[in-house]
Structure 1
Amino acid sequence: MNVHILADSACDLPLDYFEEHSISFLPLSVDIKGEQLQDQIEIKPKQLYNAMREGAVVKTSQPSPLLIKESFTDLANKGIPSLYVAFSSELSGTYQTAMMIRNEVLEEFPSFELAIIDTKCASLGHGLAVRYAADLAESGKSLSEIETAVKNYCLKMEHIFTVDNLEYLARGGRISKASAFVGGLLNIKPLLHVEDGKLIPLEKIRGRKKVFRRIIEIMSERGVNLQNQTIAISHGDDEEAAYEMKALIEKEFSPNEVYINYVGAVVGAHAGPGTLAIFFLNDEL
């Protein structure tokens, strides 16, 4: 029996991917003007970014504990070994909640094989980890083999991204207010990365073209064997920038694939419109 994969909506993979690979989908929620909407099901990224541009204050919340418990219990009843690939514990309480519910379910089903991975990743960094887990599961690997491989994969995942305005990240507590350097009037673009699951400001660069060039430089410095990787780009409603970045990456590194998708509503609620993020591995698997 193949291992069943579960993932939450913060991985920013489309619903079609979940359905095609029979992955359980656990949506986080976005609160806009008091209305709580399930990510990807009741709100799409473009709707979120339009609301933010109009000044809406947006909050996010974890997947419903009831939904998590129902998902775990259903799999336990069927005796299917399962792996939940979860959003970074440094950015959400989703992982901790899932671990508590796992313990509850195991009291009732002590023989149920369920592992939960704290990816320490976000957006398509998390999404690439989900894709990797799904590939391993479909190839017939055991739960322990997949868990070990995906944990190793996540440790090697680089997140390099830029946002139009760090105020969104500061407002949501994702970075300190002291770190929220805002340079819109000076055309200063902040560059950030993820370190042990946390968002860390890296550099301040003037102008979009210089930011793109610097991202390519960082990829050259940190990336290993990029020509044989799938590199991912997620964007906050700025496809033009994503495809411009894709062209630069393909010219410089000729990777196996450059995968592009939106920064989803939950991550986008904190990063804001105009976000551009690049994900790649910094070591061999």
Structure 2
Amino acid sequence: MNVKILADSASDLSKDHYNEYGIEMIPLNVHLDDRAYADVNEIDPKTIYDAMRNGKAPKTSQPAPEAFKKHFMACAEKNEPLVYVSFSSELSGTYQSAKIMEDMVKSDYPDAPLYIVDSKCASIGYGLVVLHVAKMAKAGASVEQIIEAAEYQAKHMEHLFTVDDLEYLYRGGRVSKTSAFVGGLLKIKPLLNVEDGRLVPIEKIRGSKKVLGRMIELMEERGKDFQHQVIGISHGDDLERAEQLSSMIQDKFGVAKENIVIEMVGAVIGAHVGPGTLSLFFSNQPNK
């Protein structure tokens, strides 16, 4: 019996990925104009970015715990193994909600093969972890192999990202009002990382033209063996720059184009980072 893989919409994977590898997905919620939308299913990221450009400030919320219970119960009743790889517990409460529902379901089905892994990752960095184990599950890997791989891939996933406007990070409490104002005035572009699930500033770069080159330099410093892994790029409605970054990676490291996944930053994460965001994801210690 193949292991079911469950993810949430903060993985920023496309519907094609979910369908091809049989990944089940739980949507987080996006609130816009006094209405809540289920991410991916009821709203697309382009709608959110256009709204933000027009001065609106969408909010987000985690899934209702019942959404997890539904998936967990379905597998518990059939004694079907399921691994939920979650969005970073430091950035959302989805992991905690899932753990509560896991305990509730296991009170009735104590031997249910339900497992939860905190990816400590976000966006396509998280998505690459999910894709890796989904491919393993499709090939018939065991629960133990999948959990070990998910934890390993998550531990070694590097996140590098920049935003076009610090105002959105200020609204989310990630930078001070003064930093946002001065950054905008001086056209400062921050580079950030995710460490142990938390957003951590790396450095500030003056001028957007220098950002891509610096991302490539940091990629070379922090990563290795790029030709034997899948590279992820996500963008806040800026496909042109994402493709430019992809071309630079291909030229610099000899990575095949088909080994680079490019997706738009989804509505949930996009609501916090804003249009023009550009993110790069790779492993610093890929498996062979």
Distance change >3 Å, CA 284–CA 24, structure 1 → 2: closer
User: Would the aligned equivalents of 1:33 and 1:57 in 2 still touch at CA under 8 Å?
Assistant: no
Q: Distance in 1 between matches of 2:157 and 2:170?
A: 24
User: Which residue identity lines up with residue 59 of structure 1 in the other structure?
Assistant: K
User: Which residue identity lines up with residue 282 of structure 1 in the other structure?
Assistant: N
User: Would the aligned equivalents of 1:167 and 1:180 in 2 still touch at CA under 8 Å?
Assistant: no
Find the counterpart in structure 1 of residue 243 from structure 2. 243
Find the counterpart in structure 1 of residue 165 from structure 2. 165
Matched, 1:209 2:188: no
Find the counterpart in structure 2 of residue 283 from structure 1. 285
Matched, 1:40 2:37: no
- SS for the counterpart of 1:37 is strand
Structure 1 counterpart of 2:264, from 239, 253, 262 = 262
Find the counterpart in structure 1 of residue 138 from structure 2. 138
Distance change >3 Å, CA 22–CA 246, structure 1 → 2: same
Where in structure 2 are the equivalents of 1:19-58 lying within 5 Å? Answer: 19-58=19-58
Distance change >3 Å, CA 26–CA 179, structure 1 → 2: farther
Q: Distance in 1 between matches of 2:192 and 2:44?
A: 25
Distance change >3 Å, CA 265–CA 13, structure 1 → 2: same
Q: Distance in 2 between matches of 1:284 and 1:37?
A: 36
Find the counterpart in structure 2 of residue 234 from structure 1. 234
- SS for the counterpart of 2:66 is helix
Give unpaired runs (5+ residues) of structure 2. none
Find the counterpart in structure 1 of residue 176 from structure 2. 177
Report the alpha carbon displacement of residue 176 of structure 1 after superposing the two structures with TM: 4.4
User: Would the aligned equivalents of 1:235 and 1:276 in 2 still touch at CA under 8 Å?
Assistant: yes
Q: Distance in 2 between matches of 1:180 and 1:139?
A: 48
Find the counterpart in structure 2 of residue 189 from structure 1. 189
Q: Distance in 2 between matches of 1:72 and 1:25?
A: 12
- SS for the counterpart of 1:153 is helix
- SS for the counterpart of 1:247 is helix
Report the alpha carbon displacement of residue 209 of structure 1 after superposing the two structures with TM: 2.2
Question: Which is worse superposed, 247-256 or 234-243?
Answer: 247-256
Report the alpha carbon displacement of residue 124 of structure 1 after superposing the two structures with TM: 0.1
Q: Distance in 1 between matches of 2:244 and 2:31?
A: 32
Where in structure 2 are the equivalents of 1:37-186 lying within 5 Å? Answer: 37-173=37-173, 175-177=174-176, 180-182=179-181, 183-186=183-186
User: Would the aligned equivalents of 2:187 and 2:206 in 1 still touch at CA under 8 Å?
Assistant: yes
User: Which residue identity lines up with residue 104 of structure 2 in the other structure?
Assistant: E
User: Would the aligned equivalents of 2:37 and 2:43 in 1 still touch at CA under 8 Å?
Assistant: yes
Q: Distance in 1 between matches of 2:178 and 2:8?
A: 28
Runs ≥4 in structure 1, deviation > 3 angstroms? 178-182
Q: Distance in 1 between matches of 2:4 and 2:148?
A: 15
Q: Distance in 2 between matches of 1:284 and 1:201?
A: 24
User: Would the aligned equivalents of 2:53 and 2:275 in 1 still touch at CA under 8 Å?
Assistant: yes
User: Would the aligned equivalents of 2:60 and 2:268 in 1 still touch at CA under 8 Å?
Assistant: yes
Q: Deviations over 1:168-213 (max 9, x none)?
A: 123223x242794452332221111111111111111122221111
Identity of aligned residues (%): 50
User: Which residue identity lines up with residue 36 of structure 1 in the other structure?
Assistant: A
Distance change >3 Å, CA 95–CA 202, structure 1 → 2: same
- SS for the counterpart of 2:51 is helix
- SS for the counterpart of 1:2 is coil
User: Which residue identity lines up with residue 71 of structure 1 in the other structure?
Assistant: H
**RMSD after superposition:** 1.3
Distance change >3 Å, CA 95–CA 17, structure 1 → 2: same
Task: Give me the TM-score of the superposition, normalised by structure 2.
Answer: 0.95
Give unpaired runs (5+ residues) of structure 1. none
